[in-house]
Structure 1
Amino acid sequence: MSGARRGRGRLPLWPLLLTLSAAGLTSCATPPPLKPCDWTDAAPNSALGWTVVLVDASASFRDTTDAASSTRDLGDAVADYVTEAVARKETVSVAAFDGTGPTGIHWKKTRSMDWAAEDDNPDAQQQLRSDAVGCVEKDVTAAAGIKPASDGTDVLAAVRAAGGVLAHTRGPRQLVVVSDGLPTTGCADLTRALFRSTSEIDAIAQVCHDRKEVTDRSLKAVRTVFVGLGQPNVDQPVPTAAQQQWLGALWTRLCGQAHPRTDGAARCEVAGTQLAVRHTAGTAPSAVPTDVTDPVVSYGDGHRQRYELPGPALFDTDSAVLRPEARTVLTRIAVAARSLPGARVTVDGYVDPRGDPANDAPLSQARADAVKGLLQELGVTEVTARGRGQAPECPGGVPTGDSSAHSDRLQCDRRVDIDVSA
């Protein structure tokens, strides 16, 4: 009987083991593995430093769709700089820009690269560092594919925006600009540039300073590297080697102007990196949107530059005597004209409709002659002066009331136009 009771009291072991195993699997299930980039979503530590990578997404720089399905590998172009930033455990931000100005900056991703805080195993840390570089390279490629919001390219606006982000960093600061360096909007618009002389670089730098598009604190303590200068997409004119050198000198000058003179931590570098082309069979590169274009930079071919100068900047009312401050603006125009061999300059003078109509032609001619005289004094030889009377492009009537629109209209009416052509 006792043996019978022990036999009836035993339960088969395999159902119990299956039950326990199932319970254990449910309560201790292994979580899904993390993706290689997930750990970079940690909160940034600005004390470790910060690197910003700006990617030119404007129509003149991004790749076009072609039969070969080839794209320039922008991620590879910045890999060395990103590797350095990751080694220093810096935060890395990637953004795209176009010609919209400061509002045209599209921040793609910000990643914390503090791999030491993530894992204390040396082998694991090495893998984290390698993963991090790959993650940023993918961010750069994605940024290059962002659709531009407007026509044109404004490199300086993007640089200022990046400088504002880096200004709050306590650690080392680095900016990598991936662009052909051919802005078509803003103070450094190069659509009519000659790409020939340092005097032209001086004139551009002065205009950017006067408009405050470059200030001596824009890039305080920021190491700045330009990658891809003079390398627009295949549909655009390509500069010669000499023109590429001129372009590098321009950006070195503008970058240096964006630092305080005592800023020993800042460096401005132009990388000689040739953007590598990657062929991706069966995959078309990101195409230039058909509704967004970029003015063509012709490197001085068929050059024609027009300067529209408001009358009050040159003359007092009813006067043809140049004001002292007119020499400054006319000197810059003379420099641009002298840097263009064989340049021809035409000066058209206009008056507003408030005076005696009989005096319109003589006064406008006298003003054009005064501008011609100063330009010749400044070394410009081929100058033609024409008095045009009232300006046909401006509204002919004088509105009643004293408003800003009224003032602007009169300035347009009284302007002097200067055309410099090759």
Structure 2
Amino acid sequence: MSGARRSALLCAVTLLAALPVTTGCPPPPKKPTCGWLAESPEPGAGRLAVLVDVSTSTRSASGLGSPDYPTALRGRLEQAVGAQRTVAISPFSGPSGNLSLTTRVTNWKEQATNPKNLEGKRDDAADCLTDDVRQARQTTPGPGGTDVLRAITQAAAWLRADPKAPTRELVVATDGLVTHGCADLARSTSRGEQEIDAIVTECLKGELGGNDLDGITVTMVGVGHPSADQPMPSTAQARWLSDLWAALCGAAGATGTPEAVAVPDTDTAGTVPAPNESVQDPPVRLGTDAVAFSLSAALFDTGGWTLRPEAAPLLTAIAVQIRSRPYTRVVVQGYADPRGGDVDNQTLSENRARAVADALAADGVRSPQPRGMGATRTCFNGTPVPATETSDAGLQCLRRVDITAS
């Protein structure tokens, strides 16, 4: 039996087993015709540039949990098609941010006169652009980190190339986690407006021009949303990151404030290629520097380790601060003043550390590690207490529990 006959028979048998009333094989999904879109840009048409971040931080090993940029951008692409804009789509990664633009002229109204055919052309254009985004997502990332800002300034040059364009819009699908250039966040503390102002000032020294985005509307899609394999910014950190990009775009003259659009995750393995193991990008943790708290022994019963009621709200507040950042290690250290015996001091410090660790765990802190440190002669701030000091008040800073999250 020939290969063709065997395939036809197999198809018929499969269909008969699943759907007895159906005959023949279903037609393959219709693939849009895109050749008519691949034209030179027309002067005077609105322009849309779409940048797709393909750096390591946007890719999970399985593909599951990677930002689904084609789905997130679909509505924006349909709007551009409806307005018959010229659309340029490019992946970017690496420190150069070099773009490889795929340009489409979406003049679907000129392709037919029949209303049904026109509708089909419009849908084909949106499908083709979505496929371009999907294809861009398959691009192998470049080495050496990510420079989103450099890619943005290159796309802006294309948007300004037609002085007659009535609209200029830039959409950047990225987690916003820069690891190269003036906005490098690999060691950022993400601590408020002061750091944002400093980054903007540094970028304006040469990497960002005050007029680079004049007349351009900027939309950021997926800022603060890396792949599932990366450190995930907290809500506060993601908000800080959005504020940073708003400040950078505003400093370059962008129209309005960049809209931070949410992005779904991929739910099919293999949809996005796995990270290239030869490309090593530093992870961006956004301010996971160690933070420390100290609790006075006054929160315990005298000579004991039972927490007093007034300790509960204080520990809950500390637990919330720890939970709001991506800390992976929490150590609880108990101390005693040197007046008691070594054994008693060790037991007291261990039990007080354990009591605090248990309270933090009850408030949602993962696996706090209690440690009894015994007696000490140094306060929480590093100030030593003289050996001649024996008063209860003078030794108070030694009787404490310290909490360190990192």
TM-score bucket (shorter structure): 0.5 to 0.7
Q: Equivalent residue for 1:55?
A: 52
Shift of 1:213: 1.3
Q: What SS does the aligned partner of 1:216 have?
A: coil
TM-score by length of 1: 0.58
2: CA distance between counterparts of 1:81 and 1:159? 18
Shift of 1:144: 1.4
Residue 266 of structure 2 corresponds to residue 272 of structure 1: no
1: CA distance between counterparts of 2:43 and 2:31? 25
Q: Equivalent residue for 1:119?
A: 112
> Residues 84 and 34 (structure 1 numbering): CA distance in 2 closer, same or farther, change over 3 Å?
closer
2:143 is matched with which residue: 133, 146, 150?
A: 150
Provide runs of 4+ in structure 1 moved above 6 Å: none
Q: Equivalent residue for 2:364?
A: none
Q: What SS does the aligned partner of 2:113 have?
A: coil
2:285 is matched with which residue: 298, 303, 321?
A: 298
Amino acid at match of 1:149: G
Q: 2:58–2:67: 8 Å Cα contact kept in structure 1?
A: no
> Residues 235 and 276 (structure 1 numbering): CA distance in 2 closer, same or farther, change over 3 Å?
closer
Q: Equivalent residue for 2:100?
A: 106
Q: Count residues in correspondence.
A: 262
Residue 232 of structure 2 corresponds to residue 245 of structure 1: no
Amino acid at match of 1:219: L
Q: Equivalent residue for 1:228?
A: 222
Shift of 1:73: 2.4
Residue 195 of structure 2 corresponds to residue 200 of structure 1: yes
Amino acid at match of 1:287: A
> Residues 268 and 126 (structure 1 numbering): CA distance in 2 closer, same or farther, change over 3 Å?
farther
Q: Equivalent residue for 1:191?
A: 186
Amino acid at match of 2:231: P
1:83 is matched with which residue: 70, 78, 81?
A: 78
Amino acid at match of 2:90: A
Q: Give me the identity figure in percent.
A: 34
Shift of 1:71: 5.0
Residue 133 of structure 2 corresponds to residue 140 of structure 1: yes
Shift of 1:124: 1.7
2: CA distance between counterparts of 1:84 and 1:91? 12
2:207 is matched with which residue: 188, 213, 216?
A: 213
Amino acid at match of 2:228: V
> Residues 71 and 180 (structure 1 numbering): CA distance in 2 closer, same or farther, change over 3 Å?
closer
TM-score by length of 2: 0.61
Unaligned runs of 5+ in 2: 1-29, 291-380, 382-405
Shift of 1:61: 1.2
Q: 1:75–1:136: 8 Å Cα contact kept in structure 2?
A: no
